[in-house]
Amino acid sequence: MNSSLRILLADDSRFFRTIEAKFLQKTPAQILEAEDCASVLSVMRQQKPDLVYMAFSLVPDGGVTCCSAIKQDPQLADIPVVMICDQGEPDQPGLARRSGADDHLCKPLDRHTFLQVGRKFLAGIREHRQPSFFSLSFSFGDETFTGKCLDISGGGIFIETQLDIPPGTEIPLTFKLPDIMATKVECTVKVSWLNRKPNVRKPHYPHGFGATFVNLPASIHKAIAYLSNKKPSA
C-alpha cells in the first residue's frame, strides 16, 4: 500500500463507509474515515488527504456546511471533495456545488461511477487490470491506426503502438472483447501516459500508452469487468 496516497470517507453511517472502502480496495491508498464534520476537519488538517468522499447528510449540520468550511480554509481548500447526495433529492446536487464541492454522486452508489468520478481528481484510483491480448483500432487526426491491447479493466486499457499521442488527448477506439459473445466495443478513451524512453513507466511493456475510458456504457463496463475478473485457466 502506498501510504502517501490518502482518501477520506466522511459519513456517519459505518455501512456506507464500508461499501465505499470495498469499492477502493484495489486502489493503493490509505483509507481514512470520519463520522462527523468535526472529525472530518481534524483528519484533513492532520493527514491532508488527496481526496474526500463526503455524505450530504453528514452530522451534525450536513455535508454542505462541512464542505463550505473546508473550502474557506486556505490549508484545505485545494483538496477535492466529492459530495454523495441522497436518492430522490433533486435539490442536493445544486446545493453541493454551491458549497464548493468539486463533484457529486447520487445514491444508490455504483462502484464503476464511484471510481470514475474519483479518478477525475486522483489518477491512482484504479481497477484491477487483467492481461488480455487482442487487436484494436483507433483514430487520431484524420487517420485510423491499429494496435494491440495488453491489459484491460473497467477503468482503462494499455495499447501497444508506435504512435505517440499527447497525454490528455481523447480518441475513438474500436475492438472486440475476447469473450464468448465477441462483444464489440466502440468507445472513447483518454490517453493518460506514454510508455516511451527515457520515461518508461512499465519497463516490461513495449512502446504504447495507458488510457482511461470516457463515459463507458454500463453494459460494456460490465462485460469488461467480467473479463478482467476471470481467473486464468489452469
> What's the pLDDT tens digit per position in 98-123?
999 999 999 999 887 898 899 889 87
- The three-class DSSP label of residue 115 is helix
- The three-class DSSP label of residue 140 is strand
In CATH terms, the superfamily for domain 6-119 is Response regulator (3.40.50.2300)
Separation of alpha carbons 22 and 160, rounded Å: 31
- The three-class DSSP label of residue 184 is strand
Domain residue extents for the chain: 6-119, 130-229
pLDDT at 116: 81
Q: Is 55 exposed, middle or buried (CB count within 10 Å of its CB: 0-12, 13-18, 19+)?
A: buried
Separation of alpha carbons 83 and 93, rounded Å: 8
pLDDT (tens digit, 9 = 90+) per residue, 191-206? 988 998 887 888 899 9
pLDDT at 27: 86
CATH 2.40.10.220 fits 130-229, yes or no: yes
Cell of 64: 454542505
pLDDT at 3: 52
**Half-sphere exposure (CA, 13 Å, Cβ side) for 99?**
27
Separation of alpha carbons 234 and 26, rounded Å: 24
Cell of 174: 474500436
Ranges of the chain whose pLDDT falls below 70: 1-3, 126-128, 228-234
pLDDT at 229: 61
Given a contact cutoff of 8 angstroms between Cβ atoms, the answer to whether 211 and 191 are in contact is yes
- 185 pairs with which residues across the strands? 175
C-alpha 150 chain-centroid distance: 20
